[in-house]
Chains A and B, each alone.
Chain A
Amino acid sequence: MPRFHAETLDVYNGQTFPVSACPNTDMASFRATLIGGVSQGLRISALFGAPLAGDTLRLYAVLTDDNAGRLHLISTDVTGSYTALTPSCAQAHMFEREIFEQWGVRPEGHPWLKPVRFETPFRGNGKAAPIGITDFFHMKGDEAHEVAVGPVHAGVIEPGHFRFQCHGETVYHLEISLGYQHRGIERKIPGGPHPLTPFQMETLAGDTTIGHMGTYCRMIEHFSGIASPAKGQAIRGIAAELERLANHIGDLGAMAGDVGFLPTMSYCGRIRGDALNMTAVLCGNRFGRGLVVPGGTAFDLDSRLIEILLKRLDDLEKDATSAIELMFNTPSVLARFENTGRVSRETAREIGLVGPAARSCGLTQDIRFQHPYGIYNYIMAQMYTWHTGDCFSRAYVRWLEIQESMAFVRQVLHAMPSGETRTAMRGQLAPDTMSVTLTEGWRGEICHAAATDANGRFAFYKIVDPSFHNWFGLAQALRDQQISDFPLCNKSFNLSYCGHDL
């Protein structure tokens, strides 16, 4: 049981509580609690601001205790500026920059106070900084050169800017500047849920539709005090694991392509399509749009569809296994993967990596396992880790998770409950209530934190995509690496640009 400096609110994943139940302390205690908690092994899942009257900002912090499966909340009020947490607790780094950008509250002493999304502040009349123009880190000396990659990339991928400081082929520093996919979704939700909100949630990160939408729907259900029926939860679980499957297979194929290993690249490209088509069997959309709704799922699985899915799953397993094992059995591929883009376990913990990236550094961290929700309460998903922290590790953990997902889907399909797939929604959301919902998306921990106002409309809705934690990990992985290994490292993380940019 962690010991905190000040009193925190102890809840579990998805639990609702009155807004006033969250303890509000002074800044010093808030700092001490956060720093103390992190040093005892907790993670900051969210650290964000919610506006109060005037210039004051209420800072909320969500500390996640993976071992105990509990979340701890604490808040404080600030005006103008405060002493930065980052020098003592690097996990707060991106959050503090975001708070500064969105609300204008300055963390004094922050070592890396640069724009996050180049967005217009949420309050005040400030303008957005011109995108991409920031004070990049420079290596001194006229012999180092800079390589600026992006925002337009050579492949058909999302835009983002990477600034390398190099000498010869060695990268001494990588700095990542995003914000090109900013759509201002967090701004659009307060006062909702609006008719557009579910669509915005589904496309927060296009390849994590089930992840984000599932979180949102559970949030609505918690606020409405209803639960999805068992069949709905089972189908949600299948969709989530299919999403994980498809993306992991695509990632392995892309990694093979980046090292020039063409067979696996081609096969995995096709096999990912097969996995996406299985999602289409569920709901007619390859990415699962329209499948997950508050209260359950909009589509049902009858025995005929279950047969089809089982058959496709068997084919998928056979194809994927042969293509991927071919890659892992080729020494030239392993020579590229091993010892490339290493992130140490200490660094991973220090910056708060989540998801497969964290698990490949040996950190045991999986929301499905430690903070179970939905179907994962009834059917366990195994957690796999690998210790080396390099590209091989990230590839291998993905392969292990692919195998686990296939087994999981098969198990759920065989044990499919009967009954309805959705519960009818009650009209309104509970007023003056707050909740934090975590999900294990295929990239890692998705965190939604929301509170309703007196009318049962959203007062604020904070979204933290796993990429928000992990982009900084990619920057660290490239230190002292060869620049020609960057695409491989980037693919091995495969982070979301739009999930970060919201």
Chain B
Amino acid sequence: MILFLAALIVLLTGAFVTACAGRRLWANTAGPLFSVAGSVLTVVGSLMTYEDGPWEWALNQGGSAILSIHFSMDPLSAFFCTVTAVITGIAAIYGGGYLKEYADEKNLGMAWAFFLILSASMLAVETAWDGIFFLVAWEIMSLSSFFLVIFESEKPEVLKAGWVYLVATHFATAFLMVMFMILGSAGSFSFGSAAVPPALKSVVFILALVGFGTKAGFSPFHVWLPEAHPAAPSHVSAVMSAVMVKAGIYGILRILTFTGEPLLWWGWTLVILGAVTGIGGVLFALAQKDLKRLLAYSTVENIGIIALGLGLGIVGMATTHPVMAVLGVSGCLMHVLNHAVFKSLLFFGAGSVLHATGSKNMENLGGLMKRMEKTGSFFMVGAAAICALPPLNGFIGEFLIYLGSFKAFTVHYGTQGSLCGILTISTLALIGGLAAACFTRAGGVVFLGEPRSSEAEKAHESNAFMTGSMAILTALCLALGLAGPFTIRLIQPAVQVLTGRSHAMDTVIFEGGDYLMRISVAGLCFLILVLALRLIRNRFLSGRSVEEAGTWDCGYTAPDARMQYTASSFSDPVVTMFQAAVRSKKQVDRPVGLFPESGAIQTRTDDVVLTRLISPMFVLAAGVSDRLHRMKKGYNQIYILYIVLALFTLLFWTFYQEYTR
């Protein structure tokens, strides 16, 4: 407990210090140092909590002050805090390297201050034990991330993204406020005494789903994500995508611990929401030209997978089938961890690319692997991880979810469970294929082939901080991929906060650990085989001629970089196949006639939910407020009249209340 509180103090002190540092150069070293220190303290503290047991601490013990600073860490919080801390720490190292070039133009001290406040507020959110305090921490988290998003506020699109983000997060907060009011209606806002009136259970669940789901990025509330995440500087994008959205997931999980027995339709809602989010996210990712936007949509996809796992678990809990429950929730939490690792790795890679070439447009890149070998290789590992390919870590979480679905119908768990299982398997299989298409495209077009522009040609490798932080994450991807049997046991305390504990669950976890052990062995065999084959090949080739030549170009005398596939062409068949959902617009200026003068092609994919749902709603709202606006004639007398009318109404109502008492 002490360590955790110390961590918070370190982070907040660091924020103060760097804010004071302002534009001085040492702000860029102080920020990462404080962040890493805070992270280390948090991780150690969380791991100790795992060992020693949950703790609780409040500043005003039971006082009547509205705001009571009240922390508690149980295994669920500890898990999320560990993930948060590890990623923010590594992101800070990366950020130190990334922000170096902005040292002259920007106030790095303030940027680091907000970063440290963000880290602290996320930790606070994940350990808050009081409704009001939770909301305060949540708001601080949103605001500090907002200021980080608009770091490059001189660009209009960044500002616009910031506004979208601000509106979305406050939309979410509104729902959360109502929800906490319901939770606290029994008297105290403390989570310990959180009581959900049974009649309002589902209302609370819906409010939580919308409120936390917006932050997490569930469809259709995800529209802010592809705007805000790419606009932020890359280390912040990584933290937002890898960790902040998980705060949303944490929120839903925490609320589920208050509501007692979950209802069946909750699980189904999560499953269907997860399926839609997952498939929609990856489809839109496939249609993007901007590398960071692609990664943002991929976050949406992975949140969908997490929701799918959680939904499967809830269905298992609601139909009292512990195997399904524990595997689903384990898969969910496992994927929370794994996604945090490889998504931040990918965002770091995208950041390095942006740093080196000045461009996020995939159609301008290419051939970067030869110029940025470390970044490229690490990015490829991240891409393989996000496609859930063994022996990397992405496979573990998805395997648990698949296994849960399988158990749902092989152990004859009835129609509900089986249907849920079928839906989950089909969805995950489809998502897997689409993700493979998306990330071979991203990795291949950006890093492989020939450079498509002079910026790509002149790219250079990033500094040691940036590549070093990516190296750590890559090692983690591999380690987590092979350490499946250990990790699953490690997260069980967190899982059990939600599912409870039973002998059946213990058995299935034991067996699951065994399967994961075999997967790890298979993974090791795979790596050994690849290495062995490589040695064999090198041995054979050592005595023979090994030469270099150009790629086969059919003997044409003047090949150029335009003669390679573009990202847009690569994804065109799939995007066209799913046109009904994606609604990508292709503007073709067809070559007309026998001797055409020109032709052009341009595609554009706007977020379907944004254009068809949210924007029309906002337009409607604007129209309504426009009409309301007309009520403001601009004369002071009218306003006084409105105030008087309002007062009279209130007076009348109070008298009426008194009268009818």
Contact = CB atoms under 8 A, between A and B. Distances in A.
Q: Do A and B bind each other?
A: yes
Contact of B601 (A112, A144, A153, A159): A144
A130 to B, nearest CB: 7
Given A141-B600, A143-B603, A132 B562 contact: no
A1 interface: no
B364 to A, nearest CB: 7
B563 A146 contact: yes
A417 interface: no
Nearest to A173: B591
B576 A142 contact: no
A93 B566 contact: no
B596 A151 contact: no
A168 B564 CA distance: 12
Given A137-B599, A148-B553, A152-B554, A351 B594 contact: yes
A169 B573 contact: yes
Interface in A30-77: none
B598 interface: yes
A93 B553 CA distance: 29
Contacts of A480: 590
Contact of A131 (B554, B557, B576): B557
B573 A476 contact: no
Contact of A150 (B554, B567, B568): B554
Interface in A128-174: 130-133, 137-153, 159, 161, 165-170, 172-173
Nearest to A475: B594
Given A148-B556, A172-B588, A173-B591, A139 B599 contact: yes
A151 B555 contact: yes
Contacts of B576: 168
Interface string A325-355: 0000000000000000000000100110000
Interface residues of A, number: 43
Contacts of B568: 143-144, 167-168
B602 A143 contact: yes
Contacts of B566: 142-145, 167
Contacts of A168: 568-569, 572-573, 576
B82 to A, nearest CB: 43
Contacts of A476: 594
Contacts, number: 110
B251 to A, nearest CB: 40
B559 interface: yes
B652 interface: no
Interface in B565-595: 565-569, 572-573, 576, 586, 588-591, 594-595
Nearest to A147: B563
B506 interface: no
A105 B247 CA distance: 75
A479 interface: yes
Given A148-B559, A150-B555, A172 B594 contact: no
B605 to A, nearest CB: 12
A498 to B, nearest CB: 17
Contacts of B364: 142
A427 interface: no
Given A133-B557, A148-B554, A149-B554, A142 B452 contact: yes
Contacts of B553: 148
Contacts of A151: 554-556
Contacts of A351: 594
Interface in B40-93: none
Nearest to A111: B595
A212 to B, nearest CB: 28
A147 B364 CA distance: 18
Interface in B533-571: 553-559, 562-569
B601 A139 contact: yes
Nearest to B574: A168
A90 interface: yes
B363 interface: yes
A143 B452 CA distance: 11
Contacts of B363: 142-143
A322 to B, nearest CB: 37
Contacts of B595: 86, 90, 93, 111-112
Contacts of B361: 142
Contacts of B600: 139-141, 144
B594 A90 contact: yes
B362 to A, nearest CB: 9
A151 B599 CA distance: 25
A130 B557 contact: yes
A165 B559 contact: no
Contacts of A153: 554
A347 B565 CA distance: 31
Given A145-B566, A169-B573, A140 B556 contact: no
A156 to B, nearest CB: 14
Contacts of B599: 137, 139-140, 165, 172-173
Contacts of A112: 595
Contacts of B603: 143
B564 A145 contact: yes
Nearest to A476: B594
Contacts of A146: 562-563
Interface in B452-469: 452
Nearest to B575: A168
Contacts of B569: 143-145, 166-168
Nearest to B452: A142
A128 to B, nearest CB: 13
Interface in B487-518: none
Contacts of B289: 143
B85 to A, nearest CB: 41
A149 B553 CA distance: 8
Contacts of B564: 145
Nearest to B597: A111
B591 A167 contact: no
A266 B432 CA distance: 41
Given A142-B363, A152-B555, A137 B596 contact: yes
Nearest to B556: A148
A476 B566 CA distance: 24
A161 B594 contact: no
Contacts of A93: 594-595
B54 to A, nearest CB: 54
Contacts of B558: 132-133
Given A90-B594, A165-B599, A168-B576, A145 B557 contact: no
A220 B566 CA distance: 56
Nearest to A154: B554
Interface in A399-441: none
A167 B599 CA distance: 12
Nearest to A90: B594
A137 B573 contact: no
B554 A141 contact: no
A148 B364 CA distance: 20
A44 to B, nearest CB: 15
A389 to B, nearest CB: 16
Cβ-closest 7 pairs across A and B: A168-B572, A143-B568, A152-B555, A111-B595, A140-B600, A142-B363, A145-B566
25 contacts: A90-B595, A132-B558, A133-B557, A133-B558, A137-B591, A140-B601, A141-B601, A142-B361, A142-B452, A143-B289, A143-B363, A143-B566, A143-B568, A143-B569, A145-B565, A148-B563, A152-B554, A159-B555, A168-B569, A169-B572, A173-B596, A173-B599, A347-B594, A351-B594, A472-B594
Given A142-B363, A150-B554, A167-B568, 4 more contacts: A153-B554, A167-B566, A169-B573, A173-B599
Interface of A: 86, 90, 93, 111-112, 130-133, 137-153, 159, 161, 165-170, 172-173, 347, 350-351, 472, 476, 479-480
